[in-house]
Structure 1
Amino acid sequence: MTTASGQSFKNVINGELVDAAEGATYDVVDPATGEVYARAPLSGAADLDKAYGAADAAFEGWAYATPKERATALLKIADAIDARAEEICRVEVADTGKPFQITMDEEMGMASDHFRFFAGATRVLEGKSAGEYLEDHTSWIRREPIGVIGQVTPWNYPLMMMIWKIAPALAAGNTVVLKPSDTTPASSTLLAEICQEFLPPGVLNVVCGDRDTGRALVAHPTPQMVAITGSVRAGMEVAGSAATDLKRVHLELGGKAPVIVFDDADIEKAAEAIAVAGYFNAGQDCTAATRVLAGPGIHDEFVSALAEQARSTRTGMPDDEDILYGALNNADQLARVKGMVDRLPDHATIASGGAPATVDGGANGFFYEPTVLSGLRQDDEQIQTEIFGPVITVQRFSDEAEALAWANGVQYGLSSSVWTKDHGRAMRMSRKLDFGVVWINTHIPFVSEMPHGGFKHSGYGKDLSMYGLEDYTRIKHVMSYIGE
């Protein structure tokens, strides 16, 4: 349906596309133009009750479906994503401001691949062998779905983070009520609509709304587990709310990835790869390569090389094929990034960028220049706090021990990388780095088969891989007396 400002999105509840029960809506803004382009339901308690009621009613049938039946449904969803990839990508770009072609190339194939992986994974869940651990008694393990799952996804990768959440949950036999970020409901509602053709009504529900909707989704008494990808603040709030009735919690939160470049690294290759991994998606990635620690012998040259990469990196409108990244997601995020750079201490230096960007066709959009900062100290705000923008910092370390101490010396523990030709050094660092992911001579690749998740304030639980599937199951011990 079209409105004066563009599209009007719908909730997806019990297999139907519906407005909020009270008819309330809110504006959705295109980050590239800064203009309202759509409206979405502002859902309340009645909408959540309806969605959770549908998920609860659908749970038994979906939980008892055979792994083959669930896998078949997920494979059909994957095929539908491939068939409608350009349409889905256009929708994703509209409320994220991402470059269209890069999003097509980097996200659409991965989106369907994740569904295909979990379709296969649901058919090969493993447990301990049945056996007589007590005389005249046989024990075995059942791995069962948890129940109804409440999920909250962020605005930086709305489509991909939705898939990371729903694919393992559905594969394991759970039913879902998901709330996308209020700024990016488009691809989540479209994907949910596509899924309805292949899933029984109520298995997957999407409810749009603001932060209050998200809080109510987490606090609702129906879900047995809640999962969120978001900020540390949001994760702590979710964990606290869930604790009141002992819901399980799955948290993938912020990051401040150390990128440790030793003196023996190839400076030009490392600078090019790190710039891409730091500026991709405007740095709005909790694994982004935005905190570089450079060895004493290469620091100055590396800052220069990285600054040159920044100067050759372009931001712009989604259909510009020569850009690496588009707009920041919203006005608040642009103000946050600008504020972090504007508050630089006197001992720090802006090697490149450092200001909002001017873009043809996006005069009111939320653009920021690719930026390199040097001279920062370990306790500076820009080192300790996630900036979540196209800003890369560079620190000079003196030796391996200091590099490790500085790398681990933040509240986050999501991802990291080490750049060196010394295999022994790479192995030592990978063992001692307190992060859930360690890349060596690369940064940011993901595959469906390998887990992603953090330590410390970056949360707990794993996305992707068999570990991600297991997180959405519970373990039951069954024992049978077999004596005469």
Structure 2
Amino acid sequence: METANKIREFNNLINGKIQPAALGETLDSVNPADGREWARIPLSTVEDVKEAISAARKAFGKWASVSAMERAAFLRQIGDCLLSHAEELAMLETNDSGWVIRETSYGLIPVLRSIWYDAAQSASIASRGETIPLSPQTFGYTLREPLGIVVGILPWNSPLFTFTIKAAYALAAGNAVIIKPSEFASVSCLRYGEILNEILPAGILNVVSGDGLIGEALVSHPDVNRVSLTGSGNTAKAIVRSTAQAPKPLTFELGGKSPNIVFADADLKKAAEGVTINGIYTGNAGQLCVGGSRILIQQSVFEEMISLMTEVVKKNTVLGDPMDPLTTMGPIANEAQYNKVRSFIELGKQEGGEIIFGGRSGGGTILPNEPQFANGYWIEPTLIRVGHNSLRICQEEIFGPVATVMTFETEEEALAIANDTSFGLGAGVWTSNLDRAHRMIRKLESGNVWVNTYRHVGPELPFGGVKDSGFGTDSILENTREKTCVIQLG
């Protein structure tokens, strides 16, 4: 673990050069496990944004003219080189966000490699079109072209994953890319940019860190052709306002308040693990857009499920040094979010919720035998029983290891509760009844529905939301525009 006297400096990647912000200003990066500064990142300005956009614009023409086969070769090289940097990237991600090393090492890096390889495989799709005979004398066809400059705005809870999703498919389609990581978690992204810069042509990928001011400058610039955000609804609204005068394709993957529904005929032991450890009490402390934060249990098995869930959490949750492979859940990623999650736990009590387990916070309280974490942003897995879905803790995204639980009697009631939210990103259904599973899939207002599993995602499947959870996906075709061509013969 990095200590206070080993402050590391990281810099932007612009036009193939690793450089500080134009004005030389920096932001501190704090390790959420112990609350100490461990790195510094550039506090970029509009001048840095202009330089990155200029570099991307100049590089785009050459990159777009490169064949799909050649672009695929570059992307496969990235996938190949990740293994040699796997340990370093995993450690940076853990220091930066608190996401435990057992997940960043053994889960995240293989997924990143898979996405780069998948993008390489998909590169040829980016230029494919259709042939449409219009008449014996008229020949029609479509083709796809890259958009130009694609900007990716990243969250702080999974920066390397979202960086890869946004960059890999945009590059495969022939676009230039500018990545703006969260000011709360930029370190791993800046280093990732350095690594990718060793393979990609200068200017085709740029990474610029800073606060919301440069984010606004990026998305509103007329030379930017697409914006892909993974983040909050408030940020999405700001982007819509900023792009109103220069409209462009927008992809938003936003928050969630996902239901995880357990029917009496389910495999309850499997469901207990699925709705707790897999659903919400994860290695990055429930900071998941798709976290199953509303657990709904059929009344007849409620007490049994609560007992099983409590046992699963007690047996499988190990809080401690995120760099220890035995640790299963880390801290909240930053102080602001830590305070927000704590306030929601208190709100849950005020709204009449009953804390079934958890509720405590602070490294000194949760980890009394590890004083080095006394000032860290720790919150233990928390489950709050509620009587009604209208409470704020049931309607607003908490984004931490906090879930509510309530009962239902019938399938219709479960659906009504599940859909009673402004969000629609994910939903889980636990049942042995295949007919019911299909009915629930069709009626749940969600971009993703999992049956007898949860959070099963990958590059093979699209991932997007409905309602306030956003729209669009980060894919090859989303990074292209379709052109229609008609030729008159004779």
TM class, shorter-length: over 0.9
Per the alignment, residue 476 of structure 1 pairs with 483
Give structure 1 regions of 4+ aligned residues with deviation exceeding 4 angstroms: 2-5, 125-128
Residue correspondence of structure 1 range 241-256 to structure 2 within 5 A: 241-256=242-257
Equivalent of residue 424 in structure 1, options 435, 438, 444: 435
1:288-316 per-residue CA deviation (whole Å, 9 max, x = no partner) reads 12211111111222122222333331222
Per the alignment, residue 118 of structure 2 pairs with 117
| TM value normalised by structure 1 | 0.96
Q: How many residues align?
A: 478
1:140-175 per-residue CA deviation (whole Å, 9 max, x = no partner) reads 111110111111100000100100110110010000
1:52-76 per-residue CA deviation (whole Å, 9 max, x = no partner) reads 0000001111111100011000000
Cα distance in structure 2, aligned partners of 1:269 and 1:59: 49
Shift of 1:138: 1.0
Residue 286 in 1 paired to residue 289 in 2? yes
Shift of 1:334: 0.8
Shift of 1:391: 0.9
Shift of 1:190: 1.2
Q: Contact conserved, 1:311 with 1:352, CA < 8 A, in 2?
A: no
Letter in 1 for 2:422: Q
Equivalent of residue 465 in structure 2, options 443, 454, 462: 454
Per the alignment, residue 95 of structure 1 pairs with 96
Once the two structures are overlaid, the 10-residue window that deviates more, 97-106 or 360-369, is 97-106
Letter in 2 for 1:25: T
Shift of 1:448: 1.2
Cα distance in structure 1, aligned partners of 2:117 and 2:246: 34
Residue correspondence of structure 1 range 370-449 to structure 2 within 5 A: 370-449=381-460
SS at match of 1:276: coil
Residue correspondence of structure 1 range 243-322 to structure 2 within 5 A: 243-277=244-278, 278-280=280-282, 281-312=284-315, 313-322=317-326
Residue 182 in 1 paired to residue 193 in 2? no
Structure 2: gaps of 5 or more residues: none
Cα distance in structure 2, aligned partners of 1:125 and 1:34: 45
SS at match of 1:392: strand
Residue correspondence of structure 1 range 71-90 to structure 2 within 5 A: 71-90=72-91
Per the alignment, residue 339 of structure 1 pairs with 343
1:170-199 per-residue CA deviation (whole Å, 9 max, x = no partner) reads 010000111100011111111111111221
Shift of 1:127: 4.9
Question: Structure 1 residues 203 and 346 mapped into 2: Cα distance closer, same or farther (>3 Å)?
Answer: closer
Question: Structure 1 residues 126 and 427 mapped into 2: Cα distance closer, same or farther (>3 Å)?
Answer: farther
Cα distance in structure 1, aligned partners of 2:25 and 2:406: 49
Once the two structures are overlaid, the 10-residue window that deviates more, 73-82 or 124-133, is 124-133
Residue 362 in 1 paired to residue 373 in 2? yes
Calculate the aligned-residue CA RMSD, in Å: 1.5
| TM value normalised by structure 2 | 0.95
Cα distance in structure 2, aligned partners of 1:337 and 1:139: 56
1:414-437 per-residue CA deviation (whole Å, 9 max, x = no partner) reads 111100000000000001111111
Shift of 1:126: 7.2
Cα distance in structure 2, aligned partners of 1:128 and 1:198: 29
Cα distance in structure 2, aligned partners of 1:56 and 1:265: 54
Letter in 2 for 1:373: I
Cα distance in structure 1, aligned partners of 2:291 and 2:132: 47
Letter in 1 for 2:287: Q
Q: Contact conserved, 2:293 with 2:402, CA < 8 A, in 1?
A: yes
Residue correspondence of structure 1 range 57-206 to structure 2 within 5 A: 57-125=58-126, 127=128, 129-206=130-207
SS at match of 1:343: helix
Percentage identity across paired residues of the two chains:
38
Once the two structures are overlaid, the 10-residue window that deviates more, 124-133 or 353-362, is 124-133
Structure 1: gaps of 5 or more residues: none
Letter in 1 for 2:322: P
Question: Structure 1 residues 35 and 445 mapped into 2: Cα distance closer, same or farther (>3 Å)?
Answer: same
Per the alignment, residue 221 of structure 2 pairs with 220
Cα distance in structure 2, aligned partners of 1:86 and 1:321: 13
Letter in 1 for 2:242: S
Cα distance in structure 2, aligned partners of 1:347 and 1:29: 35
Per the alignment, residue 56 of structure 1 pairs with 57
Cα distance in structure 2, aligned partners of 1:204 and 1:376: 50
Cα distance in structure 2, aligned partners of 1:299 and 1:16: 58
1:34-55 per-residue CA deviation (whole Å, 9 max, x = no partner) reads 0111111100011000000000
